[in-house]
Structure 1
């Protein structure tokens, strides 16, 4: 059973005096499990979506083949030229930064309850400090955005950036109608990983699979994401104006285990 009165990583790391990772954050890593970045067998798939609609028949055929390979061999791929304006993506990243720049008293308004994973809005640190054996080097906010749209009222502009349909210039309920996901749940989550004095001794999020259907991830230019491929961890460098598409456990079940979950 872990401690329940834990300060945020933001508060822990703000004093410049911290020179080492507290013992409760100590996480054992295995650097030998890292893939060789020059090994073409561990080259992360990049999908140019514009070629599916504007490319030649040969280009479309190639992209579809690459998608199939990414689904079956990786469970991950990166999407470029996807049609979402760069200002929209930067706006969401900016609102993420603005939320974690709030004063601690402001953030506490959105802490939610420790034992309810379905709180409409919930922020905190680690994963669940009441049960975590090793604390994670991250703060987070999670917002249920469908079937009912929720958003913190601070900072100003967060709800506008988080309203995906409106942001893309679509009708407010366009995505819900197009997907017919009335019984489903969509979650908007943002993580904050401040600089760590000993990054080899702490971890932001431990190895895991995503339990949902599909996750779309935006990284800032600091990167830090790693994916497991053929028993090796591959560093995923952030690419401007790109999405990382992650296939989850539900997709693996839905496709009868033909697509990897990650």
Structure 2
């Protein structure tokens, strides 16, 4: 069978290799929708409501581990054009996409299916993923697709604007936490990855998943959802849907922000379920520390009553531990926790 499901046509039944064991299936339950997802109006951060807006971001990062942002500065037309380009890319001929296929995590631009270990998996996830590095543009754009014709132009502009947006959020977080200005500039947010998930309609969504349960190991994540629901977060002991908000970005502080905040922030477990009716394409963008930079709780947050919860480590050390522990966030973080004396 063709590995990339974006090349499949007329799928009538779920292949056995995509059917999860009973204890891991989402089942046929109708999952509740999280009705109180914090919504941040970023325009207010530039006016008299700046302090209140920053506090909203801190509260959301502490209580939920995610929030939606409106009036974020990226135009609706650019968001629509970028989504259109990615849908065009996934609709390109199989032989064209095959030129980008790779399971090598170090490749600058690649497409793959399910997870990083497709050939070693007992069960596959119902998705294709296209990902590439974005920053600085001039170092990576030559590896991007030349087709669709608008790809490099549109995605290049989008990548730059999304990076500006995420750095604005990080600067507001640094101001709210009381760490020095520019704390999140430079190597700590050096790498930018664009990650586009594509899920074709699924014959039986109760038996499979579009993405595994996970926490984001990076610094901060942004997601542009489409109108087809699918994202779920684990809150209050149950899975809850996060409905797409038109023209909004969903922001998820990653595990590195949890460490830097000395455990003030949380990073939620989330997953993706599938749809039987429509294809679902989403655009993610991640800021990731350079491999050799030291990650540790911000010193301005520490005092005699608030010792560091975590030891200093490099992102390379953390990511190696995270993947070795089957991407289990709690197990990986425990490895770097300071033990009570």
State yes or no: 1:137 paired with 2:130.
no
CA contact (8 A) 1:21 1:197 kept: yes
State yes or no: 1:197 paired with 2:203.
yes
Secondary structure of 1:24 counterpart = helix
Secondary structure of 2:250 counterpart = strand
State yes or no: 1:149 paired with 2:140.
yes
CA contact (8 A) 1:88 1:167 kept: no
Offset of 1:63 from its aligned partner? 2.8
Work out the CA distance in 2 between the residues paired with 1:166 and 1:242.
16
Paired residue for 2:5? Answer: 9
Paired residue for 1:47? Answer: 40
Offset of 1:167 from its aligned partner? 6.3
Offset of 1:241 from its aligned partner? 0.7
Query: Which of 204, 209, 227 is the aligned partner of 1:221?
Result: 227
Offset of 1:165 from its aligned partner? 6.9
Offset of 1:221 from its aligned partner? 0.9
CA contact (8 A) 1:123 1:139 kept: yes
Offset of 1:164 from its aligned partner? 3.7
Q: Which structure has the higher relative contact order (CA within 8 Å, separation 6+)?
A: 1
In the alignment, structure 2 segments of 5+ residues that lack a partner are 169-181, 269-341
Paired residue for 2:243? Answer: 237
C-alpha spacing 1:122/1:162, structure 2 compared with 1 (3 Å): same
CA contact (8 A) 2:229 2:244 kept: yes
CA contact (8 A) 2:28 2:206 kept: no
C-alpha spacing 1:100/1:198, structure 2 compared with 1 (3 Å): same
Offset of 1:65 from its aligned partner? 2.9
Offset of 1:146 from its aligned partner? 2.1
Query: Which of 2, 17, 22 is the aligned partner of 1:24?
Result: 17
CA contact (8 A) 2:79 2:158 kept: no
**Aligned length in residues:** 244
CA contact (8 A) 1:34 1:232 kept: no
In the alignment, structure 1 segments of 5+ residues that lack a partner are none
Work out the CA distance in 2 between the residues paired with 1:165 and 1:181.
21
Secondary structure of 2:256 counterpart = helix
Offset of 1:233 from its aligned partner? 1.6
Secondary structure of 2:264 counterpart = coil
Query: Which of 51, 54, 58 is the aligned partner of 1:64?
Result: 54
Secondary structure of 1:70 counterpart = helix
C-alpha spacing 1:182/1:229, structure 2 compared with 1 (3 Å): closer
Offset of 1:105 from its aligned partner? 0.1
Work out the CA distance in 2 between the residues paired with 1:192 and 1:202.
15
Work out the CA distance in 2 between the residues paired with 1:11 and 1:149.
26
Paired residue for 1:124? Answer: 112
Work out the CA distance in 2 between the residues paired with 1:248 and 1:34.
28
Paired residue for 2:217? Answer: 211
Paired residue for 1:107? Answer: 97
